Structure 1
Amino acid sequence: MAEPLVTRFEALLSEERQCILAGDFGGLEPLGSRKAALFEELRQSADAGALRRIGTGLKRNQRLLSAAISGVREAERRVSLLTGAAAEFTTYDARGRQAPTGKARRALDGRA
């Protein structure tokens, strides 16, 4: 009885993995409720071996998601450094006095 559930759960994990790899984080939200419901069914009927197989897929996706989150945080940090550096740009004239620079230009053009 549990084998069709295991197969469906593994297919769902594969779909989740594809969303993570593609950066489609919005696509993960609807998968969460489906995954929770399937897991409840599995918890009641699957054997230890099936649960280990599923656990392997869950851990793999968790590592991918953690890496994606780390990448986003690093990108945010770098953007913050770049915009902060542009805002703090200071020049000096020939006499050593601080010279006005006008508004700092945006360092990033927003293209991916």
Structure 2
Amino acid sequence: MNETLIKDVTELLKVERLAILSADFERMERIADEKEAVIERLKNTSGFGVDALDRLKKLQIENNALLNASREGIVQVNRRLGSVRKNASELATYSASGEKSTVVTNSAKFELKA
């Protein structure tokens, strides 16, 4: 039973990795529910080898690193999109005397041409 449980957890962590890499958020949510159930099974079972638990820990650490990188990427994209939106709706210009002036447009299709 312990070997089967370790194999199940290992497979689940591998599937989670693929879901993270493919940005399959719905699948990641389902996997989170499955992981909770598996963790309960692990808690109620003893006799696991240290090597097996170390392998699981390594897989989980790798998945957490991928999730953190994914989250940071999403944060950066949101910041960049906010900046692009702001720049598309406002144009800062300067007069001949050096005074700053802002031109505001309501158009999302504002284009800058040289």
User: TM-score scaled by structure 1?
Assistant: 0.79
Contact 1:17 1:61 in 2 (8 A): yes
Given the alignment of the two structures, is residue 38 of structure 1 paired with residue 41 of structure 2, yes or no? no
Report the AA paired with residue 12 of structure 2: L
CA change 1:93–1:13 in 2 (3 A) is: same
CA change 1:56–1:93 in 2 (3 A) is: closer
Given the alignment of the two structures, is residue 6 of structure 1 paired with residue 38 of structure 2, yes or no? no
| 1:63 counterpart residue number | 65
The alignment of Structure 1 onto Structure 2 pairs a total of residues equal to 106
The Cα shift of 1:40 comes to 2.1
Higher mean Cα deviation, 13-22 or 44-53? 44-53
Report the AA paired with residue 56 of structure 1: K
The Cα shift of 1:93 comes to 9.0
Question: Percent identity between the aligned chains?
Answer: 31
User: Where do 5+ consecutive residues of structure 2 fail to align?
Assistant: none
Given the alignment of the two structures, is residue 24 of structure 1 paired with residue 27 of structure 2, yes or no? no
RMSD of aligned C-alpha atoms? 2.6
User: Where do 5+ consecutive residues of structure 1 fail to align?
Assistant: 108-112
Q: Deviations over 1:66-85 (max 9, x none)?
A: 00001000000000111111
